[in-house]
Amino acid sequence: MATYTLTRPSALNPWRGLMSELQRDLHSAFRPNDGVFQGTRGVYPLVNLHESDEGYVLTAELPGVSPDDISVSIEGSTVTLSGQRKIEYPVGEGTAVHRRERQSGSFRRAFELPSEIDVEAAKASHKNGVLTLVLPKSPAARPRQIAIETR
């Protein structure tokens, strides 16, 4: 497990990247594949999408992003997430940055869902750095039980 000295950041270790790649490969080899997982691709933010009879639930990992900096728009069956992840440190006035891994900048992703969304009934919430969108299907897109008449 990696250990860092706070006062003296360790020199770049060429083996570390290789080791973590190996670990990741090993991990994915033994991970049960449910056929849905896409892996952590180079997109931001990462999202998961679940479906029930009533609608969809889209969750996105947005740690440290204020709800004021996130915008959600829905049109038909397309959901668009956009915003800014602002990370600013007052460098200079006696503050130095020793390690910078957390990324900042703007993002925008659009998702085309399998059916239309009831825009009026959609809800968004933000908790512990996870954005959750509850997206009910428009009434026409919901499954209906059709009674069979007997003659």
Partner 1 sequence: MTTTETREIQPREKEVLMSEDPRSGLVFRPDVDILEERDAFVIHADMPGASEDTVDVQLEKGLLTLQARLAQTPAANRTLYAEYRDGSYYREFRLSDDIDAAAVSARMKDGVLELRLPKSVSRRPRKITVEAA
Identity of the residue, 20 or 73, whose beta carbon is nearer to partner 1 in the bound complex:
20
> What is the contact surface with partner 1 in residues (CB under 8 A)?
1-7, 9, 20, 23-24, 26-27, 34, 36-44, 46-52, 56-57, 61-66, 85, 87, 89, 94-114, 126, 128-130
**Which tokens in the block code for residue 43?**
């997109």
**Which tokens in the block code for residue 102?**
């957390």
Rounded least distance, CB 67 to partner 1, Å = 8
Computed on alpha carbons and rounded to an integer, the radius of gyration of the chain in Å comes to: 22
Which residue has 């896409």 as its token pair?
38
The span from the CA of 11 to the CA of 13, in Å, is: 6
70, β-bridge pairs: 83
Rounded least distance, CB 12 to partner 1, Å = 16
Identity of the residue, 12 or 96, whose beta carbon is nearer to partner 1 in the bound complex:
96
